[in-house]
Amino acid sequence: MSSCQCDRIECKFDEPYAEEKLVLYRESGPDPSTQALVDAILAEGVAGKTLLDIGGGVGAVQHELLKAGVSSVQEVEASAAYVAACQDEAARLGHSDRITHLTGDLAAVAADVQPADIVTLDRSLCCWHDMPSLVEASAGKTTWLYGLVYPRDTWWIRYGWRVWSNVRQMLNHTTMRVFAHRTHAVEAILARQGLTRRSYTEVGVWQIALYAKDET
C-alpha cells in the first residue's frame, strides 16, 4: 500500500465485512444507489465497452455491466478482502477471465491502468481524503462516461456525515475516516477534463451523477 488511507481502508473493509457485503449482494442485488448508477450507464448502451471500476467493493457495478455486455473490466481496489470477494463472485458468474484486479490506490497503480470507455467510483470517493487527485486521475482514464456515487452536498448531510460517520468509526476502533466532498469542487475538476453532466439522481444521502466526454 502506498498511503495511510489505503491502510485504513484495508483494516475497515476486512474479510468478515467483505463476506457480509457479498452475501447481501447475492441475496438482494446492488444497493439502490448502485443500481441507479448502473441504470444510468445502461441507458447509454454498454455492449462491447470497457470499464474501469475504482473502489468497486464486491464488484456490483462490474458484475451487472458485464452481464449487460461490457467486454472487460479493470478493478482498482484498496481492500484485498474486497478483491477476493469480487473474484469469488466473478468465478461464480463465469466472467473471471474478463476482470483484471489491481490492489492499491489509483496513484500507486496508475501506470498499469489502461484508459477505459467507462470509469466508475461507486461510494469510493467518500473514502478518500485527497479528492482532487483522485478525481483528476480517474477522470483522465475515461474515454466516454464517468459515473460517481457520493454524498449529497447539503449542509445537514455534510455535518451529519462528518459527525455520525466518523464517530461511528471511532466507536468501532478503526482509524478510517470518511469525507463529504463539495459537488462544485468535484465538477470543476471534471469540467477541466472535458466532462459534462449527462444524468443526475438522488437516493437517500447519495447523489448519483453520470458525465460524458465532450465531443471534439
pLDDT in tens, 127-151: 888 899 999 999 999 999 999 999 9
CA angle 97, 102, 108 (to 5 degrees): 155
Give the highest mean pLDDT range of 82-96, 105-119, 123-137. 82-96
Q: Is 63 helix (H, G, I), strand (E, B) or coil?
A: helix
Q: Among all chains, which residue has been given the C-alpha cell 462490474?
A: 62
Percent of the chain at pLDDT exceeding 70: 87
pTM of the model: 0.91
The full set of domain ranges for the chain reads 4-213
Mean pLDDT computed over every residue of the chain? 89
Q: What is the pLDDT of residue 11?
A: 56
Confidence at 1, pLDDT banded by 50, 70, 90: very low
Query: How buried is 36 (Cβ within 10 angstroms: 0-12 exposed, 13-18 middle, 19+ buried)?
Result: buried
Best CATH choice for the domain 4-213 from the list 3.40.50.2000, 3.40.50.720, 3.40.50.150, 3.40.190.10:
3.40.50.150
